[in-house]
Structure 1
Amino acid sequence: MTNTTDFSDETRDKLRGVSTATLCTALFKRGLRNQFIQDVRPVGQVGKTMVGPAFTLRYIPAREDLNPIEVFRDRAHPQRKAVEDCPPGAVLVIDSRKDARAASAGSILVTRLMQRGVEGVVTDGGFRDSPEIGALPFPAYHNRPSAPTNLTLHQALDINVPIGCGDVAVWPGDILVGDGEGVVVIPRAIVDEIANEAVSMTDYEDFVLERVQGGASILGLYPMTEARHLDDFEVWKGAKFIDRT
């Protein structure tokens, strides 16, 4: 079972305030180059940034003699069980083998996840009923719309095991962050330090953007290679802190 109790509200709040782009750079500094889930995008409009630990579901290619529509009568069917077992605050992450020709799930299952307090859902395949899912106040990410039932191509096999989603390895408990650009996967062991660094990076990027909007050159400023900009940044941060209080 995904452990959500050791993921602090403080870290979650920090991650809600930074972009996936900034997080990717912070991860790259630690040698992690492939943490952004490929070819996955928001189903609808993005409101609050999605942040939560991964709870996984793995599909394999369907075999017709083992995957008839009657399998849904089984209360322990892995897809149904994943929807009912995914903990509140977690993100259901689905390995659909990057195949959107059949749906990973539809609006009823996604609505059930929302009602249970799950943080969001991500698949590297597609969702059916995508217009309805896109209208929900619930973070959902997929490759593209897909009407056929998952049974035609996908066979649900495992819950909460390491998976691949959009060419990224996802381990249960890894922290997923999703915004308007997509979804990044942060290894659980370093999430606190990544969150802290991303907040600092975001502050500096805000400072840089303000200067660039005022006509400043990026040379020496972004990245910072001239010490004078550090002094200016410290003054800017001090003024920002005063404004907040």
Structure 2
Amino acid sequence: MTGLKPETREKLKTVSVATLSTALFKRGLRNQTIQDVRPLNPNLGNMVGEAFTLRYIPAREDLNPITVFQDRSHPQRKAVEDCPPGAVFVIDSRKDPRAASAGSILVSRLMVRGVAGVVTDGGFRDSPEIAKLKIPAYHNRPSAPTNLTYHQAIDINVPIGCGDVPVFPGDVIVGDGEAVIVIPAAIADEIADEAVEMTAFEDFVTEEVLKGRSILGLYPATDPQTKVDFEAWRKAKNR
């Protein structure tokens, strides 16, 4: 995966999912925030990378005994070894956290291999240990049973649904301290540029509000003086 420009990645590390969702909404994209996932450690900074996916289906017991893990080509194990450095591993667990999508050993392997983060709309086991790792991880809730209990890994790097959002391989995934959003790859550069501009303005607005200024005419900037003040602020802050 080489489609994400380094400069775009760096810009996306500086903006919030909330700001990105507004930029996408302006383009008619309303369903890009993955539902019901939260970070195990919200203090790691933004997760940014291209999507590499794993899809689960409901487990069929005769095809999904614990012995399947002896197969080196088992889709879950293979996906962990194939997910490219800098990518985000996105798992479709059918919004079902009854059984774990992965545990601390597999997430540790992803971290060591340089993967940018991992997201599941199911759950992780060993979540206290995962929370201590230096890799962003997002899930629905902790889940102790092995994934084989209810899930059968079936496809690697195919279009999936994760938390009610379509995710295509190569889409740009951004996670912050509260949420995860999916940016179509074709518009990632322009979304990043717009989000950086929006963030600068919102930082200015926040400073003004904390000084006691009314939001009327300020946010949105319907008062011409707001634009004058913002440009002066940008110059002073080198933004």
Normalised to the residue count of structure 2, the TM-score between the two structures is 0.98
Cα distance in 2 for residues equivalent to 1:188 and 1:227: 36
Q: 1:201 aligns with which of 198, 203, 224?
A: 198
Cα distance in 1 for residues equivalent to 2:68 and 2:43: 34
1:117 alignment counterpart:
114
Cα distance in 1 for residues equivalent to 2:115 and 2:154: 21
Cα distance in 2 for residues equivalent to 1:129 and 1:86: 21
Q: 2:216 aligns with which of 207, 216, 219?
A: 219
Cα distance in 2 for residues equivalent to 1:46 and 1:69: 35
1:159 alignment counterpart:
156
Q: 1:65 aligns with which of 62, 68, 83?
A: 62
Structure 1 residue 175 corresponds to structure 2 residue 172:
yes
Give deviations 1:75-121, integer Å, cap 9, x for gaps.
11100000000000000000000000000000000000000000000
2:9 alignment counterpart:
12
Cα distance in 1 for residues equivalent to 2:99 and 2:148: 8
Cα distance in 2 for residues equivalent to 1:46 and 1:96: 25
- Displacement of 1:213: 0.5
Cα distance in 1 for residues equivalent to 2:52 and 2:60: 25
| Structure 2 residues without counterparts, runs of 5 or longer | none
Does the 8 Å CA contact 2:88/2:115 hold for their aligned counterparts?
A: yes
- Match of 1:144, as an amino acid? R
Give deviations 1:50-80, integer Å, cap 9, x for gaps.
0000000000000001101111111111000
Structure 1 residue 140 corresponds to structure 2 residue 137:
yes
Does the 8 Å CA contact 1:175/1:185 hold for their aligned counterparts?
A: yes
Q: 1:75 aligns with which of 72, 76, 85?
A: 72
Cα distance in 2 for residues equivalent to 1:188 and 1:95: 19
Cα distance in 2 for residues equivalent to 1:45 and 1:24: 19
Cα distance in 2 for residues equivalent to 1:46 and 1:143: 18
Identity of aligned residues (%): 74
Q: 1:190 aligns with which of 179, 187, 191?
A: 187
- Displacement of 1:22: 0.4
- Match of 2:13, as an amino acid? R
- Displacement of 1:182: 1.2
Structure 1 residue 23 corresponds to structure 2 residue 20:
yes
Does the 8 Å CA contact 2:170/2:185 hold for their aligned counterparts?
A: yes
Cα distance in 2 for residues equivalent to 1:217 and 1:43: 36
Two-structure CA RMSD over aligned residues (Å): 0.8
Structure 1 residue 89 corresponds to structure 2 residue 105:
no
- Match of 1:56, as an amino acid? T
Give deviations 1:164-204, integer Å, cap 9, x for gaps.
00000000000000110110100000000000000000000
1:150 alignment counterpart:
147
Does the 8 Å CA contact 2:45/2:177 hold for their aligned counterparts?
A: no
1:42 alignment counterpart:
39
SS of match in other structure, 1:184? strand
Does the 8 Å CA contact 2:3/2:170 hold for their aligned counterparts?
A: no
Cα distance in 2 for residues equivalent to 1:235 and 1:133: 44
Give deviations 1:111-168, integer Å, cap 9, x for gaps.
0000000000000000000010011111000000000000010000000000000000
- Displacement of 1:45: 3.7
| Structure 1 residues without counterparts, runs of 5 or longer | none
- Match of 1:145, as an amino acid? P
Give deviations 1:2-40, integer Å, cap 9, x for gaps.
x2x221111111000000000000000100011110000
Cα distance in 2 for residues equivalent to 1:137 and 1:45: 11
**Runs of 4+ displaced beyond 4 Å:** none
Cα distance in 2 for residues equivalent to 1:105 and 1:26: 32
